[in-house]
Amino acid sequence: MLNVSMIFPADLATVSVQAGYDVIGEPIRQVLADLGVETDFAAVPASFCDGRFNLSHRGRKLCGLSQWRSAGGPDRSAVVLAHAVIIVRDAPDAAGVLNAVQDIVGDPARFDPARWVSLADVAGELGAATIGEKLTAAFRAGDAW
């Protein structure tokens, strides 16, 4: 897994939830497209931490996105913390571990590993090995904001 987090100031009255996801999601989508991997924002039922802001490839989750928004700074400033987790390589025990946690917390939902895919599976090892540096370059370029 590759975790990407960013925090940025935002006027929460004008920066929509979608825009908050776009700031982190669009650069990731572009880097993935450059690696030959097309993605869409979509829910993927039975994938872990599902939501409509997953980046999916052919109906399978490749990247999960989340955000936290706060307007509680001492100077009433607002920030958005945006986070992505990219499945870089297959984790065969992930579903077992996640489902065991579900049992512990009493949640009957179950996760199906057939509902997600790794970057190595769709872009090969070169894509998996270079995604970090490509994302760093994309975010440093500042195209997201």
Which pLDDT tens digit goes with each residue over 71-96? Answer: 776 666 788 999 999 998 887 778 88
Which range, of 48-57, 99-108, 119-128, averages the lowest pLDDT? Answer: 119-128
The CATH number of the structural domain formed by 2-139 is: 3.30.930.10
Q: If you average pLDDT over residues 47-74, what whole number do you get?
A: 90
Beta bridge partners of 57: 60
Among 4-8, 39-43, 124-128, which stretch is predicted with the lowest mean pLDDT? 124-128
Residue 41 has pLDDT above 90, yes or no: yes
Q: What is the mean pLDDT of residues 94-108?
A: 93
pLDDT at 144 over 60: no
Percentage of the chain beyond pLDDT 70 is 94
Q: How large is the average pLDDT for residues 17-25?
A: 92
| Structure confidence at residue 10 (pLDDT) | 85
Distances (CA, A) of 67 to 23, 53, 94, 100, 123: 11, 10, 23, 25, 27
CA distances (Å), 26 to each of 46, 54, 98, in order? 24, 12, 28
Q: Which sign, positive or negative, has the C-alpha torsion 99, 24, 27, 44?
A: positive
pLDDT at residue 145 in the model: 52
pTM of the model: 0.87
pLDDT at 143 over 60: no
**Mean predicted confidence (pLDDT) in 101-129:** 91
Helices (runs of H) and strands (runs of E) counted in the chain:
3, 5
Is-contact 86 117, C-beta < 8 A?
no
Selecting among 7, 43, 49, 137, the annotated active-site residue is: 49
Active site residue 63: no
